[in-house]
């Protein structure tokens, strides 16, 4: 890695060691005809993706001491399209669960969606208006386990009904979680259609009813984990709004954000918050 002043988002040596085998294997499978391995260190490419995710900067505003946009976007898009970002994410997710003395795949998951404003330039054909939350943009659907780790993620237009997003998320869980998920918790935005679809997949979907006596936000047992994960993701400023032209890029951003969270968790590093940075300044 070239000598430069490190950014807070940079991977430490032990964190890079968790990701490096997957990246190296990918690089070995994608050698150029001339045998040239490229001008940039792969660790710096990953650092640039994480830096942009954490700070939310535009491609044209990447710092000059990091790899330029053309190189970084090439790898971001390649890893998005062939699923390498998801391979890294799943590898780390399994390690975090094993460290917590749990099986690799969960039996209980929690579903939720969050609508985010779309930035200027995002294609109208991939966005919509969420009438309930009055948000024009996209809807981010998450499925998390009881540790708050993302088991499935999908991005829709904001006007997509929770029934449609819920059934899509459950199908992804059934396909990717090895058939271990038997129970799912969801809020009242999800309806009977989601319960029926889950039953067809062998997943008992429970719609958690809000206590009518509660006022304001009251954490619900187990379901609060997905709210916590939404809050953690928003620390990555690229996810505060949806800046991506493709929904698949938005999904990839979630994978990279959670990857950043999990490598820190596995190495015992604290995740700095913007509030701490402001106080230090």
Task: Read off the DSSP letter of residue 59.
Answer: G
The pair of structure tokens assigned to 236 is: 């990555």
What pLDDT sits at residue 234? 94
Cβ contacts of residue 193 below 8 Å, gap of 6+? 163, 166, 167
Report pLDDT for 33: 63
Question: How many CB atoms neighbour CB 181 within 10 A?
Answer: 25
**Tokens encoding 35:** 């045998």
Cβ-in-10-Å burial (0-12, 13-18, 19+) of 56 comes to: middle
Predicted pLDDT at 1: 47
State the pLDDT at residue 111. 95
Q: What pLDDT sits at residue 217?
A: 62
What pLDDT, on the 0 to 100 scale, is given for residue 148? 96
| Confidence (pLDDT) at 31 | 81
pLDDT at 189: 85
Burial class (CB in 10 A: 0-12, 13-18, 19+), 280: exposed
Residues 154-168 pLDDT 10s: 999 999 999 999 999
For residue 217, what is the DSSP state? -
Are 9 and 269 in contact by the 8 Å Cβ rule? The answer is no
Buried b (16+ CB within 10 A) or exposed e, 214-251: eeeeeebeebebbbebbebbebbebbebbbbeebebbb
How much is the pLDDT for 37? 62
The pLDDT, as a whole number, for residue 281 is 47
CA 61 remoteness from chain centre: 23
Quick one: fold of 105-239? Nucleotidyltransferase; domain 5 (3.30.420)
pLDDT value at residue 123: 93
Q: Which of 260, 258, 220, 238 is nearest to 116 (CA)?
A: 238
Cβ partners under 8 Å of residue 168, min gap 6: 141, 154, 156
The rounded distance, in Å, linking the Cα atoms of 154 and 49 is 20
| pLDDT-flagged residues of the chain (< 50) | 1, 280-281
Q: Which residues lie closer than 8 Å to 275 by C-beta, 6 or more apart?
A: none
CA–CA gap between residue 233 and residue 215 (Å, rounded): 25
């Amino acid at each position: 890695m070239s000598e430069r002043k490190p950014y807070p988002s940079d991977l430490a040596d032990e964190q890079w060691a968790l990701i490096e085998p997957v990246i190296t294997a990918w690089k070995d499978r994608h050698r150029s005809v001339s045998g040239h391995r490229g001008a940039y260190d792969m660790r710096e490419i990953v650092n640039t993706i994480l830096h942009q995710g954490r700070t939310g900067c535009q491609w044209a505003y990447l710092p000059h001491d990091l790899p330029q946009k053309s190189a970084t976007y090439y790898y971001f898009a390649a890893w998005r399209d062939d699923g390498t970002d998801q391979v890294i994410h799943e590898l780390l997710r399994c390690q975090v669960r094993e460290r917590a003395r749990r099986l690799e795949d969960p039996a209980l998951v929690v579903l939720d969606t969050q609508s985010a404003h779309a930035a200027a330039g995002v294609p109208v054909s991939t966005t919509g208006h969420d009438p309930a939350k009055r948000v024009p943009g996209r809807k981010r659907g998450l499925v998390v386990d009881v540790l708050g780790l993302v088991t499935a993620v999908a991005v829709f237009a904001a006007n997509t009904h929770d029934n449609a997003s819920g059934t899509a998320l459950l199908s992804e869980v059934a396909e990717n979680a090895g058939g271990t998920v038997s129970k799912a918790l969801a809020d009242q935005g999800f309806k009977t259609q989601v319960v029926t679809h889950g039953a067809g997949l062998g997943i008992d979907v429970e719609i958690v009813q809000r206590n009518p006596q509660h006022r304001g936000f009251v954490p619900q047992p187990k379901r609060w984990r997905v709210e916590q994960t939404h809050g953690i993701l928003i620390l990555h400023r690229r996810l505060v709004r949806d800046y991506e032209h493709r929904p698949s890029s938005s999904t990839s951003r979630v994978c990279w954000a959670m990857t950043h969270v999990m490598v820190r968790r596995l190495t015992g590093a604290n995740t700095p918050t913007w509030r701490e940075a402001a106080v230090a300044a």
